Amino acid sequence: MTLLFIGLILWTGAHLFKRIAPQKRAAMGDKGKGLVAVGILAGLVLMVIGYRGAEVIDIWYPPIWTVHLNNLLMLIAVFIFGMSATTGRLRGRMRHPQLTAVRIWAGAHLLVNGDLASIILFGGLLIWALLEVVLINRSEPWDRPAPGHAKKDPVLIAITLVMFGIMTAIHAWLGVWPFPGY
């Protein structure tokens, strides 16, 4: 659990550094981008190692139907995450599509994982994403991008389905089958 906590702290600190100490971050110049990237990557690696190595301490036992709700929410999260890169009509519909997707992802995983390590990991990332949105909204005005062409929206749907399939395959490869009963 220690590595999980350290990873969460590194991830959160590296991401929030620009928001909490903008002058210090700006003074670091381009070198600061590399240091932040290293902090984020180190945090990610430590979270994965810490989570996979954590003792399973069950806090609650989710009902089986929450797995289906999780899968639906994950499909929505992948779609919303993709909205950040779309050039279609959906561009600019949401200010923080990536952070919104992280919040949906974390909430969905909290629905299906009742162990302490999962609550710490997904709950911690949910809190980080919420805090990040608040800090961004306070510090930066939003210049909403103009919508693109509707013909690009089917591309987003196709990419969403492919990415969801890849994520499902990775979960299966790791030994977590996301479709119980099938």
Domain boundaries, the chain: 1-54, 56-182
Contact (CB, 8 A) for 100 and 90: no
What tens digit of pLDDT does each residue of 129-143 get? Answer: 999 999 999 988 988
Segment (H or E) for 31: helix 29-53
Residue 75 has pLDDT above 80, yes or no: yes
User: In this predicted structure, what is the pLDDT of residue 182?
Assistant: 65
101 exposure class (CB count in 10 Å sphere: 0-12, 13-18, 19+): buried
Q: What does the block give as tokens for 123? A: 């709950």
What tens digit of pLDDT does each residue of 13-64 get? Answer: 999 998 998 888 888 888 888 999 999 999 999 999 999 999 999 999 999 9
Dihedral sign, Cα of residue 13, residue 19, residue 21, residue 25: positive
Count CA atoms closer than 13 A to 73's CA, side-chain side: 19
The whole model's pTM is what? Answer: 0.90
Contacts (Cβ under 8 Å, ≥6 apart) of 47: 3, 4, 7, 8, 11, 121
